[in-house]
Amino acid sequence: MQIHDLLNEFPRTRLMEQPTPIQRLDRLEEALGDQRNGVSIWAKRDDLMALGGGGNKLRKLEFLIAQAKSQGCDTVIAIGGVQSNFARLAAAACAKTGLGCELVLAQMVPRDSEIYQRNGNVLLDQLLGAHVHVLARGEDPIAFATRRADEIAASGSKAFVATLGGSTPVGCLGYADCAFEIAMQSAELGIEFDQIVIPNGSGGMHAGLAAGMALTGSSPSRVKAFTVLSPVETALVGTAEKVNAVLELVSSETRLAPADLTIHGSQLGAGYGMPTPAMLEAVRTVGRSEGLFLDPVYSGKAFAGLLADIRSGAIPPRANVLFIMTGGVPGLYAYQDVFRE
């Protein structure tokens, strides 16, 4: 059975146009000169979606919003950090589909500036009409969301709680589907991608892609992730668990072990949402050579890892590398002090 037949079993609310384009970053290749080592660099533009500014969370939300509706929910409570892209896109998806939206935003990053707490995604959350709860440092977002869901139930409505990053097994189906999309585009372009480079945050994008690749019979180890949130060991174990939950959900017998996945820790720096010099360089390099925006928390760090791998020769000469651009541009506004020159 084809993977899209498996996925068609699940309700889905269309929030984006597919496929997103795959484009060659030839100006960046040129700018790298001798450092490029003959590597071809391609970008899958998952930042290029019309709704709510776009980004990787819309793929998960296509399945999560449909799940909420199928359960008779009229409100979505989404959990994230203050500058959560998932929260912003959940708010946009709710606006578009006529659901109420509450956002529970936890203090996951030690940044207290007015800019970080109010600009970027938080500004957009409010414009999208979400009811925003910004928690104090140390407050538990899951306990808060559960309490709100109970209050909403007591008032006669029904809330769907969407966990951090939307990385439930159902949410991960969005990137299992994307693995199939990439396989089709790869066949059309006549290019085998030797490596697919991504950030790993809550791990749902990685888990979905790896599960989708396992289902399409290609090797999940082709995905190279740079963790931006958890230490490598935790990320490997957590992501493998998610992969297997997705495989179980679609009634596949296949299972993966942490050793089947590739996650590197070189770009984590001081931790989640903490800028690194390599991230700043990657954001500027891609901006200046391609006119494209990476984000400071996820794609900027993963692209920094890709640039380091190209320059060090860790990627074999002549390899074709596909970088998934995941969006997150509003985060740049929350980090304007870090980028000031």
Active-site residue list: 84
Bond before 21 cis per omega within 30 degrees: no
Contact 222, 10 (CB under 8 A): no
CA–CA distance, 89 with 86 (Å, rounded to integer)? 5
Residues numbered 218 to 247 that lie near ligand PLP (CB under 6 A) are none
Minimum separation from the CB atom of position 293 to ligand PLP (A): 10
Nearer to ligand PLP, 171 or 193 (CB): 171
CA–CA distance, 296 with 290 (Å, rounded to integer)? 17
CA–CA distance, 301 with 263 (Å, rounded to integer)? 13
Q: Side-chain half-sphere of 277: how many Cα atoms within 13 Å?
A: 1
What proportions of the chain, in percent to the nearest 5, are helix, strand and coil? Answer: 50, 15, 35
Q: Is 205 in the site for ligand PLP (CB under 6 A)?
A: yes
CA distances from 127 to 91, 101, 215, 265, 334 (A): 9, 12, 40, 36, 16
- Residue 262, beta-bridge partner list: 224
Minimum separation from the CB atom of position 302 to ligand PLP (A): 8
Nearer to ligand PLP, 52 or 203 (CB): 203
Contact 126, 91 (CB under 8 A): no
Q: Is 80 in the site for ligand PLP (CB under 6 A)?
A: no
Q: Is 165 in the site for ligand PLP (CB under 6 A)?
A: yes
Nearer to ligand PLP, 105 or 152 (CB): 105
Q: Which stretch binds ligand PLP (CB under 6 A): 68-76, 96-104, 266-274, 295-303?
A: 295-303
Nearer to ligand PLP, 296 or 309 (CB): 296
Q: Is 85 in the site for ligand PLP (CB under 6 A)?
A: yes
Taking alpha carbons only, the member of 152, 190, 186 closest to residue 76 is 152
Which of 295, 301, 304, 332 binds ligand PLP (CB under 6 A)? It is 295
Number of residues that bind ligand PLP (CB under 6 A): 21
Minimum separation from the CB atom of position 334 to ligand PLP (A): 13
Residues that bind ligand PLP (CB under 6 A): 55-57, 85-86, 165, 167, 199-206, 295, 298-299, 326-328
